Structure 1
Amino acid sequence: MGDRTHTHTGAAGRAVTADRPASLRNVVLVGHSGSGKTTLVEALALTAGALNRAGRVEDGATVSDHDEIEQRRGRSVQLSVVPVEWDGFKINLLDTPGHADFVGELRAGLRAADAALFVVSAAQEADTVAGTTRSLWEECAAVGMPRAIVVTHLDTARTPFEEMSRICGRIFGNGDPDAVLPLHLPVQGHAGPDGHAPLTGLTALLSGRVFDHSSGERREAPLSGGRRGPLQEARARLIEGIIAESEDESLMDRYLAGDEIDVTTLVGDLERAVARGSFHPVLTAAPAAEGARQGIGTVELLDLITRGFPSPGERALPAVTTPDGVPRPAPVCDPAAPLVAEVVKTSSDPYVGRVSLVRVFSGTLRPDDAVHVCGHGLAGSGGADRPCHGADVRVGALSAPFGGQQRPVDHCVAGDLACVSRLGGAETGDTLSGDGDPLLMEPWTMPDPLLPLAVRAHGKADEDKLSQGLARLVAEDPTMRQEQNQDTRQVVLWCMGEAHAEVALEHLRSRYGVRVDAEPHRVPLRETFAARSVGRGRHVKQSGGHGQYAVCEIEVEPLPAGAGIEFVDQVVGGSVPRQFVASVEKGVRAQAARGVASGNPLVDVRVTLLDGKSHAVDSSDAAFQTAGALALREAAADTRVQLLEPVARIGVLVPDAYVGAVMSDLAGRRGRIVGTEQASGERTLVRAEVPETEIGRYTVDLRSLTHGTGRFDRAYARHEPMPPQRADRIREAHETGTKGS
């Protein structure tokens, strides 16, 4: 693995296809922003011949072709697929965004892949590596996904390769650092004035062969005497790690007895351990020098992918059920089997409309096939707002993605990926199956979006397009949730973070032609009476003809939290005619919905109608509604009205080192710590109750406080009285706004 002298050039500029799942590899690249994932994909594509030395294919496209938003921001915000050929294998390289806000694109890549390359930069701090990748590493481990690690930026390294290898073993070894070991040692040239030494080649630990790239070509070179000591030490540790994972238990006895284990046996055991996901090799790679045909370490990495990573048929496929939830036999990765596929990403193209990136798990997908599309919303992504849906549609044109380009293909077999146009209203996470046998795949989870973005149409022309644009945006991005808040009368987009929110606004403008303005998000508050009070509503008007006459007297008293509005009729003697009692109640409830002190709904009170007066001619339903509202306002003016704020129950998962800082921060947000629990991986779960007015930006603040290592979830707990000083400020602001209008 990585010891061969390749001159492979691949199939430049052509859409590559594979008709056998065994010849396919789907690999997702995971890593922090700036770790070099896209550069690595370009280097692999160049080595495999999918790009020329100018970094382009025949039609001028590049791997890093970005849309307008990515060009402006200088970083990826969406999943990109680049297929390359290597030694008869088709490799789908799935390049994912590194920014935490675009985790939806990353999860889509994980769903479509069968193995993962974790890209870590030696130019970044070790804490950055740990914070942004450990949770994803654990997700891959939970499903048994094979993983390898690629160290980049050794030429500008803060940390030497040997130390980076030890850091990776500590972070990713799950208590067994000997399961995370390098396959090669880098060869670096003389340090320049800046102290950085260029990467010039690699030494393969198992074979001891040195591959030198200093001339611009990959050539074998002799091993220098000064490197034999470090090589032997690293080689011995690697051999012990491979033997520990070997299925041949006699190897360890032979090794301990002093026998020399042949390289072929070691490489075979290494490949099997990598495919099982029990051993995780550490490699290094660098882009090709100007004019060179191959990057450093790219041949070794392509060899690892084709020989060590599993084919789609070697991976367990997601469970399937009928749309009614009846379990069905698991699909098989066979082109001749019934169709089971999934939409892993949805995007919009200005020329062809909605385009769906589909992973075919079973069967073969062809243009004009009649398929059933069935979806249930993604778990954790506001699925309650996206109910189960199904429809029979006809598949449009198929194409193979290549970065931002698509190339037509005539079919897509089990294990492969394709872009599909005209797939009806299919959304990310939907299942495609034969139209006569509808199936639904087990959903993949998405984190809840926790940053609110309140928007309104910029102008009259945008109002009609806003709802359609938002609906399409949410259908494409399962990490975004739309809310029409009836209490605050705001349209709220729940996003993963600030960058996610900014991209959403840009997509509305550029893709759907909708201009929107962001406004401060308002938390739905409540009002209630602090004590018993009485009020009299008198509505008397005479202006010729029939007038308006209604008088009512009420008593208002507070009720326990959650009781709502209770209306009681205690009128005696018919002072308020029976037909107008309901009118008083209607007026009271309407005023309660509008609020009596701050413009927020009144809750948890009992309103008792005690007495009133009427007129045989001038009393009416409308008059008694108005009198009921006036009575409630008068009762509120004679007592203290409490403002209630929602309290969230949150769980914050952070490394142990940040527990103190997080608890102190929560206290500053008027939070109450409920308890702490020890979690795996030297982490602690802090449980607390915090007013929602204090955590509107908590997803952003927590990321900053914990260097990207913390995450949290939230759920509504209850409404509680707001501190008087804060409540007074809100009431004053409401009164000022009311007078101003």
Structure 2
Amino acid sequence: MSERAAAHQGAAGRAPAVADPQHLRNVVLVGVSGSGKTTLTESLALAAGALTRAGRVADGSTVSDHEEIEQRRQHSVRLSLVPLEWQGVKINLIDPPGHADFLGELRAGLRAADAAVFVVSATDPVTGPVLALWQECADAGLPRVIAVTHMDAARADFDEVLAVCQQAFADGRADAVQPLDLPVRSEGRVRGTVELISGETHGRAEPLPPTGPARERLVEAIAGEDDELLERYLGGEELDQGALTRGLRGAVLHDAIHPVLPLTEDGTGAVDLLDLIVSAFPAPPDRPVPESLNGTEPLTAPAGDPAGPLVAQVVQNTGDPYVGRLSLVRVFSGTLQPDRVLRAAGADGVVAEERSAALTSPFGKQQRPVDQALAGDLVCVGKLTSARVGDTLAEPDGATVLTPWQLPEPLLPVAIEARSRSDEDKLSQGLTRLTAQDPTVRLEQNPDTGQLVLWCTGEAHAGVVLEQLAGQHGVQVDQVPYRVALRETFGGPATGHGRLVKQSGGHGQYAICELLVEPLPGGAGVEFVDKVVGGAVPRHFVPSVEKGVRAQLEQGVGGGRPLVDVRVTLVDGKAHSVDSSDAAFQSAAALALRDAAAQARLRLLEPVAEVGVLVADEYQGAVFSDLSVRRARVLGTEPAGPGRSLLRAEVPELELTRYAVDLRALTHGTGSFTRTPLRYEPVPPAVAAKLAKE
């Protein structure tokens, strides 16, 4: 351990306190699964003295992936917060999952942060998913530094990784990606680092690599982003360390330079990264407050003002078995204190009154009490019963509602059934709690198939959702095959006769209906026409006939599929002065419709959706070929940014049930799609025959 790290030992066990937002740094670590992001989090916590030498919290847990479900799956599924203290500055490390299925957690972390450490593995630096994550950071407007992990791997080559990162992340700016440290190798391993700005070395720094050319390029890049420094540099002046550090901070704040640091699994480079976070990353007052929703009062207080009106946003909801619901909150303005009445307002206009319970700071499984949370800080609030992820918390008379971040659309359907009667009784409450914790789950009770469907973002997400239902909410469910809501229509005109005559003893039932059923164009819906003459069906029973027809159409005539796009004409019938009734004519109408269906050829209809597939150009051919297999009608393509295209097509929804998984596999995790319901169309005979067999 270096002397700088040793000076911070003993910080474990207490939550870092902060009295000034300028002494805060909110940093999200972004990287794909396997990039070493969680190991880096623990290395930073160890270097800052927040962990024991063994890398454990006082209770024996780790700071990341401490939930049982994460340990079983060996990857993160929830955003975690690790508060540290370094050089008198509180650093909130935000560690979201790296798996593509948990993009909602990543976007929540991006909203809570003011800057990002982009984690790249030296053994697999730039893949499609890595580029997708880089774009997420760019879309969020976050300053970024690049941490190259796994530098202790046998085949790790820093110069090679640097060249790849410069090509991938420079966005056409030649000097945007610059090394801040160089690794020092000894006996085939990275044993230390040398800082290019100060020339200081850390660890076993022999033999030193040549630093002159790299330092000159870094100095030139920093000077190029500051007019004063550039003038001094062009005048031949040697820029001192203080000037370069200030210039670097300005360049990072304006997203003009992305410094690169090498790191190893044993913690080499962790102290350098902590120093960079403190010296070059923005404090909350340096960053703009998220936009307010249209029609709500914009926040006029300066960003990060502890004395301003309270405006905070719920980043995450979790369930704790001992204290109940915990809400992770980012305070953007004002000061949040416990036992205060709050206004929780969502983008959908739903407003609820809440009362803040105890405030805590998470660290692994621990929750450490804090007195208050200043503007810019992150804190857990207990027992907010109604506040949802993305909701804005404010004073009771506040009118500001912050725009929530965009959640990924869940497009993988998972149909479930309660395993037992006791599970059925608990299912509703369990699903309510689950969707409050995970807003990327969409719950649907399909009216056509009757199935209970959980819409998820992918297979990994679906597995976690089902496991959480059982483990956290005590509800056992079985996954059943998902059924697409099909419909039927008449293939041609047909007539039907419905007769209900029961007149033996007591009050009888009497109703006779004659119906003509004709197909209509797709999307026309259902028409009911009365052409009875001579009062064969009394006028006050005609609505009863229509009610019976529509109820039978919704129910279907055998396969349980609704009948649509038909015109049903009442052409004749009979009534009895005593025994006819509303119920009798409803039943007779239903019998007549079933009789007409038995005489006609029914056509099976399937839903069709318009699909927009966002894909890298290199995968266009594969995606086109796959869509043709799915019976798609391609509408066209359009550019969607450098190296990406948007493909538009109409695809039957029978072919889309697994598309969220298949597209990700086809495009190596980089493709995404949207789906918009369009209409129903006839099912091709071959497909209809296959469905009939199934």
Flag whether TM exceeds 0.5 (same fold).
Answer: yes
Q: Identify which range, 704-713 or 53-62, moves more after superposition.
A: 53-62
2:186 touches 2:207 (CA, 8 Å); kept in 1? no
Residue 157 (structure 2) pairs with residue 160 (structure 1)? yes
SS in structure 2 at match of 1:119: strand
Question: CA 1:616/1:108 → structure 2, altered by over 3 Å: closer, same or farther?
Answer: same
Matched length: 692
Is the Cα contact below 8 Å between 1:553 and 1:611 reproduced in 2?
yes
Q: Say yes or no: does 1:181 pair with 2:173.
A: no
Q: Secondary structure at the match of 1:332?
A: coil
SS of structure 1 residue aligned to 2:338: coil
Counterpart CA distance in 1 for 2:451 and 2:5 is: 60
1:517 aligns with 2:478: yes
- Tell me what 1:287 maps to: 265
1:414 and 2:375 equivalent? yes
Deviates more, 1:663-672 or 1:622-631: 622-631
What's 1:595 paired with? 556
1:232 aligns with 2:224: no
Structure 1 counterpart of 2:146: 149
Cα RMSD of the aligned pairs, angstroms, is: 2.2
TM-aligned CA distance change 1:204 to 1:80, over 3 Å:
same
Structure 1 pair 157/688, CA: closer, same or farther in 2 (3 Å)? farther
Q: How far off is 1:543 after superposition?
A: 4.3
Question: Are 1:497 and 2:497 matched, yes or no?
Answer: no
* TM score, norm. by length of structure 1: 0.89
> How is 1:6-21 mapped onto 2 (pairs within 5 angstroms)?
7-10=6-9, 11-21=11-21
Match of 1:269 in 2: 247
Pairing of 1:487-566 with structure 2 (within 5 A): 487-566=448-527
Query: Which residue of structure 2 lines up, in the alignment, with residue 370 of structure 1?
Result: 341
CA contact (8 A) 2:152 2:265 kept: no
3-state DSSP class of the match of 2:622? helix
Deviations 1:11-56 (A, max 9, x none): 2221111011000000000100011111101111111111121213
What residue in structure 2 maps to residue 677 of structure 1? 638
Match of 2:290 in 1: 318
Where 2:534 maps in the other structure, the secondary structure is: coil
Paired position in structure 2 for 1:212: 203
Aligned counterpart, 2:226: 246
Say which of 270, 276, 279 aligns to 1:298.
Answer: 270
* Deviations, residues 661-687 of structure 1 (Å, cap 9, x unaligned): 001001111111110111212111111
Label 1:327 to 1:22 Cα distance change in 2 as closer, same or farther (>3 A): closer
Residues in 1 aligned to 2:440 and 2:448: alpha-carbon distance in whole angstroms: 24
CA change 1:64–1:584 in 2 (3 A) is same
Q: What is the one-letter code of the residue matched to 1:163?
A: E
Report the counterpart of residue 292 of structure 1 in structure 2. Answer: none
CA distance in 2, matches of 1:521, 1:331: 51
Change (3 A) 1:79 1:157: farther
2: distance between equivalents of 1:569 and 1:576? Answer: 10
Opposite residue 624 of structure 1, the aligned amino acid is: F
Are 1:447 and 2:408 an aligned pair? yes
Report the alpha carbon displacement of residue 209 of structure 1 after superposing the two structures with TM. Answer: 3.9
Counterpart residue type for residue 306 of structure 1? V
- Can you list the C-alpha shifts for 1:122-172, whole angstroms capped at 9, x where unaligned? 222x5xx33223233233324431101111112226552211112212222
C-alpha contact (below 8 Å) 1:349/1:355 kept by paired residues:
yes
Question: Which string of whole-angstrom CA distances, capped at 9 and with x for unpartnered residues, describes residues 59-104 of structure 1?
Answer: 5443136122112111111111111111110101011111111112
TM superposition shift of 1:5: 6.0
1:568-647 matches, cutoff 5 A: 568-596=529-557, 598-647=559-608
The alignment partner of 1:178 has SS state of: coil
What amino acid is the match of 2:96?
Answer: T
Task: Point out the more displaced range, 527-536 or 38-47.
Answer: 527-536
2-side partners of 1:403 and 1:170: how far apart?
37
User: Are residues 1:728 and 2:686 paired?
Assistant: no
* SS of aligned partner of 1:248: helix
Structure 2 Cα separation of the partners of residues 729 and 710 of structure 1: 30
- What secondary structure is seen at the aligned counterpart in 2 of 1:12? coil
For 1:181, give the aligned amino acid. Answer: Q
Deviation at 1:210, TM superposition (A): 3.4
Q: Secondary structure at the match of 1:716?
A: strand
- What is aligned with 2:329? 358
Conserved in 1, the CA contact under 8 Å of 2:78 and 2:97?
yes
Alpha carbons of structure 1 residues 361 and 568: separation in structure 2 relative to 1, 3 Å: same
Q: How far, CA to CA, are the matches of 1:691 and 1:59 in structure 2?
A: 53
The answer to whether the 8 A contact 2:361-2:380 is kept is yes
Q: Distance in 1 between matches of 2:399 and 2:380?
A: 21
Bigger mean CA offset, 628-637 vs 473-482: 628-637
1:672-726 Cα deviation digits (max 9, x unpaired): 1110111212111111111111011111111111111111111111111111222
Aligned partners of 1:466, 1:388: CA distance in 2, in Å? Answer: 28
Q: Superposition pairs for residues 85-100 of structure 1, below 5 Å?
A: 85-100=85-100
| Alpha-carbon spacing, 1:46–1:264, altered in 2? closer, same or farther (3 Å) | same
Instruction: Supply the AA of the counterpart residue of 2:587.
Output: T
Does the 8 A contact of 1:104 with 1:446 survive in 2? yes
Q: Which sections of structure 2, spanning at least 5 residues, go unmatched? A: none
C-alpha separation between the residues in 2 aligned to 1:509 and 1:400? 28
> Deviation at 1:435?
1.6
Deviations 1:515-564 (A, max 9, x none): 11111111111211222222222233454444433322111112222221
**Conserved 8 A contact 1:671-1:690:** yes
Match of 1:33 in 2: 33
Secondary structure of 1:45's match?
A: helix
Counterpart position of 1:382: none
Corresponding residue number in structure 1 for 2:128: 131
* SS of residue matched to 1:347: strand
Amino acid aligned to 2:8: T
User: Alignment partner of 2:439: what SS?
Assistant: coil
